[in-house]
Amino acid sequence: MLVIKDNEIKEEIQVGSGPEYTEVSPDGRYLYVANLWSPIPVVDLRNKTAIKEIDSGETPHGLSFTDDELRLFIVNMESDILSVIDVTKHEIIKTIPVGDRPEYVALTPDERFAFVTNLGAGTVSVVDADSLEVVKEIQGVGDGSHGIAFSADGDLAYISNMFQTILPSLYLK
């Protein structure tokens, strides 16, 4: 992992094998790294060292924090699960089965739901952020569904798809 400041590489942080996605905790203290072939290191950014590793599942990928900084959602592509981490303890509090090859997770603007794009299934799993249960499986977004973003009012979800030239939009209300 490279630390860049003033357009220059300032230092390197050892984070394991295959770092792909990263998220900094909202308080700026910790860096979580989704490594494709190893557990997720929790890096204390004050001293730039990993303080813990979280084995969330096979091939961790997309990550998303809650605004209150208490939970981190992580998809695991080869395990077909969404892991929910208690950020205060850096421990898994729940694993939730989702569709085939989950790629990315994003919370709705009101944080009531976590949407998981399932690359292999061509679906989106909708997880209630309180009960941590899948409440809906949205069909028809196409194989290759990848990233997801929401309109500011939360009425629309936009899903990128690496195998299509269209951008599916989901009306949520």
Spatial distance between the Cα atoms of 125 and 148, rounded to a whole number of angstroms? 12
Q: Containing domain of residue 135, as a range?
A: 2-171
Residue-by-residue pLDDT tens, the chain, 173 positions: 666 777 787 778 888 788 888 899 888 999 999 988 778 999 999 998 899 999 988 999 889 999 888 999 999 999 999 999 999 999 999 999 999 999 999 999 999 999 999 998 989 999 999 999 999 999 988 778 888 888 888 888 888 887 765 555 555 65
Domain count across the chain: 1
Provide the edge-to-edge strand list for the sheet that holds 49-54: 19-24, 30-35, 40-44, 49-54
Burial class (CB in 10 A: 0-12, 13-18, 19+), 152: exposed
* Cα–Cα distance measured from residue 128 to residue 113, given in angstroms and rounded to the nearest whole number: 5
| Contact status, residue 53 vs residue 26, Cβ threshold 8 Å | no
The partner residues of 60 in beta bridges, in order of sequence, read 76
Distances, alpha carbon 37 to alpha carbons 34, 109, 145, in Å: 9, 31, 22
Instruction: Give bridge partners of residue 42 from the DSSP assignment.
Output: 32, 52
Q: Considering only CA atoms, which of 109, 144, 103, 110 is closest in space to residue 125?
A: 103
- pLDDT at residue 2, rounded to an integer: 67
Distance CA(148)–CA(136), nearest Å, equals 16
**Which residues are within 8 A (CB) of 110 and not within 5 positions of it... i.e. 6 or more apart?**
154
**CATH at residue 138:** 2.130.10.10
